[in-house]
Amino acid sequence: MTFRHRIYLAAVAALAAAPPCAAQTAYPHEVVTLVTHSSPGGGSDVFLRDLARYLGPVMGVKLVVENVRGGSGARAMARLANAPADGRIVYAVTPTYIYTSLLSHPVNNYKDLEPLVNVFFDEEIVYTRADGPLHTLADVIAAARSRRGRWGASTPASLERQALEQLKLAAGVQAAIVSHDGGGDLMLNVLNGTLEIGVGEAQEIRGQLAAGRLRVLAVFSAERVADLPDVPTVQESGYDLVLTKFRGLAGPKGLPDEIILAWELAIQQVLADPDYRNVYEAAMLSPAFMSHADYGPFIDDFASRTEAYLRRTGVLQ
């Protein structure tokens, strides 16, 4: 059983045992800001806007999404690190905030924030235009052997960027990897033919995928995705690469226990909501609830392993 499967099963058990929201005391604020470093239409932006629609009524608050772009999450981290730790502001975190902290050395980094809860694991997929010449990952690599590839990812410090860097290294090919403010911008450049492929999440491209304008070539997960049974994994395509993005929430350092508990209870309840389940399953998100007590060590371990990898490959000196 993989670590990811253990987390998934633990999340299912947590949902079954989740206490009713009625047991919660009223949240102390009427409005809460949900910050993302993503541009509109990017994975974190879509995640927060979908979550806000269902979580707001559970918590009895108005949840407002704020896009704080710039520095691959550096500006967003600064926004949180310098805000009061009173539960009025929360940040949608992904591996990007770890990569940015390690690679860019911003004034405020992931250690200045309080890991709150994890919500999902999100599969990374490789996609291209449906009317283009690429039908498999092997086609992508073959094309890059004949001429330098034109590949796309979101921010420079994103997991998607690292996925493509690792794929390029494993395949021994040359490719220009173009960064974007978010997955929505990336998708447009794949659709208009500027880029041959992009790496992102299903929720970013689900509309165009359903419309038949995009084709998924491979997934970076350990096993095939249930909603894409005919799409092979990158491993099946010949490259030993498995990458899964975590999606969670963090706040300013020093959040009060009652704020932490409120979010833990509310997230467990909203994940069990059948209407919200339809939304996140359509986006191919796997519930992976982790409490505050578990999430901090998870983040620290992820950061430690990421730093070791970056040093081993010479990215960090």
Residue 263 sits in the same domain as residue 118: yes
Asked if residue 14 and residue 89 are part of one domain, the reply reads yes
The string of pLDDT tens digits covering residues 208-218 is 999 999 999 99
Residues 170 and 130 reside in one and the same domain: yes
Residues 130 and 178 in one domain: yes
Region 300-304: what's the mean pLDDT?
A: 94
Least confident of 55-64, 85-94, 96-105, 251-260: 96-105
pLDDT digits (tens, 9 = 90+) for 154-213: 877 778 888 999 999 999 999 999 988 778 889 999 999 999 999 988 878 888 999 999
Together in a domain, 52 and 109:
yes
Average pLDDT over residues 276-298: 94
Question: Whole domain around residue 193: which residue ranges?
Answer: 125-219
Give the pLDDT of residue 283.
Answer: 85
| Rounded mean pLDDT, 63-91 | 96
Here the CATH number for the domain that contains residue 304 is: 3.40.190.150
- Do 51 and 162 have their domain in common? no
For residue 208 the two structure tokens come to 């165009």
Query: Which of 2 and 140 is assigned the larger pLDDT?
Result: 140
Read off the pLDDT of each residue in 276-287 and give the average, rounded to a whole number: 91
pLDDT of residue 1: 41
Evaluate if residue 130 carries a pLDDT over 50.
Answer: yes
Residue 246 has pLDDT above 90, yes or no: yes
Condensed to tens digits (0 to 9), the pLDDT of residues 25-59 reads 689 999 999 999 988 888 899 999 999 999 999 99
The predicted pLDDT at position 183 comes to: 82
For the segment 298-303, the average pLDDT, to the nearest whole number, is 95
Give the CATH number of the domain where residue 168 resides.
3.40.190.10
- Residue 238 counted as domain residue: no
| Same domain membership, residue 198 and residue 89 | no
| Residue at 19 is within a domain | yes
pLDDT of 270 higher than 80: yes
Asked which of 219, 235, 252 is the last residue of a domain, the reply is: 219
Q: How many domains does the chain have?
A: 2
Q: How far is CA 113 from the centre of its chain?
A: 17
- In this predicted structure, what is the pLDDT of residue 24? 53
In this predicted structure, what is the pLDDT of residue 9?
A: 41
Bridge partners of 287, per DSSP, are 120
Mean pLDDT over each residue of the chain, to the nearest integer: 90
Do 24 and 53 meet the contact criterion of CB atoms below 8 Å apart? no
Residue 25's pLDDT is: 65
